[in-house]
Structure 1
Amino acid sequence: MSVGKPVDKSCVNLIKLSVGSETVDDMAAWQATKRAQSADGLPRHVTRMWPKREIEILNGGSIYWVVKGVIQCRQKVLRLDEVIGSDGIRRCAIVLDPEIIRTQGSLKRPFQGWRYLPLADAPPDLPKGRSSEEPLPVELNRALAEIGVL
């Protein structure tokens, strides 16, 4: 397990598609806008469903972002805030650490909403100072993902 990753077994991560982002930098730019921030200026993602495993997420979990079909980075989850929409519906704002930590790329098929991501299934962080890695050839990466290796 790489440095900076939670080691507590009572921890779980989330995984989410970064819809509309072409790159991690695009996602970071969106998170820097007022619309994507909590009242204290931290980036947040508002979602309809409140995680039932809140305690495990807040025990050191991160949200892993899928950008263009590949898990590319993560952000530590700091807290979950209640947000009531203009329609009166209660939503969950996942408030994030602004530091975006790049991870080894791992293909991920599209899915709706967010999912839980067990620690054992999370891709490792890239070493500090490395913003990307030399990817596996797409066909090899896809074949490995299909048989459950990635």
Structure 2
Amino acid sequence: MLHMTKVAVGCSSLDILRDRIGAHAANGTAAIHTRYRPTRADEMVGGSLYWIIAHRLVARQTILGFEEAEGGRCVIRVDARLVPVRARPKRAHQGWRYLAAADAPDDFDGGDADVSAMPKAMIDELSALSLI
């Protein structure tokens, strides 16, 4: 399975990204616009788009498909649900990049810890250190 990474431009937190996606979601899907269609697009359907915020992979969305848009641009159809992942450092880049399945971070399931009771600042700091 092949995935992709993309910088969440203008988003300083996962909450902001979640709000942005929610504002544009309809019928359980969201559209991400990009300049070029990936040459390996067929391999990515069913994979995930991993979001980079503050130089870390922090969340993913399942890729449902690709469509052509006006002006030769591409629309990536993704599941509107944003799944937090175990944060992993990732340098920012322009556009999108491929991500092999072996390099993809695991979903954040919280494990035995109840992180909902922690202050947001603590969650952010522990996540930045890749401890949760």
Shorter-chain TM-score range: 0.7 to 0.9
Cα 1:136–1:47 change in 2 (3 A) is closer
Cα 1:42–1:110 change in 2 (3 A) is same
Q: Aligned pair count?
A: 121
Q: Does 1:64 align with 2:70?
A: no
Question: Which residue of 1 is the match for residue 100 of structure 2?
Answer: 118
Q: Is the 8 A contact 2:5 2:96 kept in 1?
A: yes
Q: Percent identity?
A: 31
Residues 95-139 of structure 1: per-residue CA shift (max 9 Å, x gap): 11011111011111121110000001111111168676833648x
Higher strand share: 2
Following TM superposition, where does structure 1 have runs of at least 4 consecutive aligned residues deviating by more than 2 angstroms? Answer: 128-138
Structure 1 unaligned residues grouped into runs of 5+: 1-10, 142-150
TM superposition shift of 1:90: 1.2
Higher helix share: 2
Q: How does 1:63-142 map to 2 (within 5 A)?
A: 63-84=49-70, 89-127=71-109, 134-135=126-127, 137=129
Provide the TM-score with structure 1 as the length reference.
0.71
Provide the TM-score with structure 2 as the length reference.
0.80
Structure 2 unaligned residues grouped into runs of 5+: 117-122
Q: Is the 8 A contact 2:28 2:81 kept in 1?
A: no
Q: How does 1:47-62 map to 2 (within 5 A)?
A: 47-58=34-45, 60-62=46-48
**Separation of aligned partners in 1, 2:21 and 2:128:** 29
Q: Does 1:12 align with 2:14?
A: no
